[in-house]
Amino acid sequence: MPSAQPTPVVATISILALPEVTASVLFGLNDLLQGAGRDWPLVVENRSGTSLFRVQIVSADGRPITIANGVQIVPDASLADALPADVICIPEVFVVPEEDLRGRFKAEAAWLKEAHARGAVIAAACSGALLMAEAGLLEGEDATTHWAYCDALAQRHPGIRLHPQRALVTSGEGQRLVMAGGGTSWQDLALYLIARLSSIEAAMQMARLYLIDWHEGGQQPFARLSASRQSGDAVITRCQLWAAEHYRESSPVASMTQLSGLPERSFVRRFQQATGMAPLQYVHTVRLEEAKQLLEASEDSIESIAEQVGYEDAGYFARLFKREVNLTPAQYRKRFAGLREVLRQSKKAPRSP
């Protein structure tokens, strides 16, 4: 049997090393991102695979650096010498939440701002959103971070729309600002990026290999990807933006077809080519993602949530949700809303003297 052709590299990813990062997060991100496309064929299919991403660890000056837990690392490059990256990951900023960071990461903040201006995705795990805020990237945007840093971030940057209850937030033009909150959120962030840059299946392969429990319900953590990823087709992008605001309306596909100005068959074919999804499937994805947020953050009944996201038949909504998420709405709420409540209560607990 001829050997499989090597998988081409689909993106360059820089992981930003700071003295205030821990080894588990820095190298954990590196391992998951490097392993995408490479590890599954090796372990499961007994063949060599090729990494989907070119990953580089970068720091301000590229010199050996001792990070938060005393581990010394040798970055691949300095900020000035690093390869231009499609995505920059900020693992964390492991500091006291109330610590004043103004001017502390001046070079890194300027580099992040410049990279974002030229089109890069800026992604942060845990408290890494603090550095995004210091770079001025989150002003007026939706954001999340580790629960212990939410109050400090809100006080320091009141213009940010903070969502402490959300595990994942994407915002900004082209959804190029990505934040995952929580102590092990680097796993969720890495899997989301793999799905966004490559495919959901590639992300799920890594989730299965690394036994990442948060994703055991299936593909649900990546549904936001389908709702936010804009195509390069201006006509279809306009329809996607319409769907993001009007997904509750009846006959959404007919409305998008009319908006596109194309014959129905041409619109469906062009939408599928641009997004990888049929128009109705896309609308269902947007609706289900909103339903997840309502299940997590509200106590509304399943029937009420079904109606809020555009389904008159709650039974149909429940069956569709189970089929797509591999959990019933009630099971999803119990699992994820319960976790959010634990984190909220932990935040309220008094700190030890």
State pLDDT tens for residues 300-323: 999 999 999 999 999 999 999 998
Domain with 167 in it: 11-215
Same domain assignment for residues 108 and 204 = yes
Locate tokens 């010394």: which residue?
Answer: 72
Domain membership of residue 292 (yes or no) is: yes
Asked which of 50-64, 172-186, 280-294, 304-318 is least confident by mean pLDDT, the reply is 172-186
- Across 87-115, average pLDDT: 92
Task: Name the domain boundary from 174, 193, 215.
Answer: 215
* pLDDT band at residue 239 under the 50/70/90 scheme: very high
Same domain assignment for residues 234 and 202 = no
Three-state SS letters, 6-60: CCCCCEEEEEECCCCCCHHHHHHHHHHHHHCCCHHHHHHCCCCCCCCEEEEEEEC
**Closest among 78, 80, 33, 28 to 58, alpha carbons compared:** 78
The answer on pLDDT for 90 being more than 90 is yes
**Closest among 200, 206, 172, 205 to 186, alpha carbons compared:** 206
- Across 126-145, average pLDDT: 93
Same domain assignment for residues 239 and 207 = no
Same domain assignment for residues 253 and 186 = no
Same domain assignment for residues 156 and 257 = no
Same domain assignment for residues 180 and 247 = no
Task: Name the domain boundary from 173, 191, 215.
Answer: 215
State pLDDT tens for residues 178-199: 998 766 778 888 988 998 898 8
Same domain assignment for residues 186 and 242 = no
Look up the CATH number of the domain holding residue 268. Answer: 1.10.10.60
Phi, psi of 11, rounded to the nearest 5 degrees: -165, 155
- Across 333-350, average pLDDT: 55
The answer on pLDDT for 337 being more than 70 is no
The answer on pLDDT for 341 being more than 90 is no
Give me the number of domains the chain comprises.
Answer: 2
Same domain assignment for residues 136 and 204 = yes
- Across 252-277, average pLDDT: 92
- Across 70-98, average pLDDT: 94
pLDDT at position 202 is 86
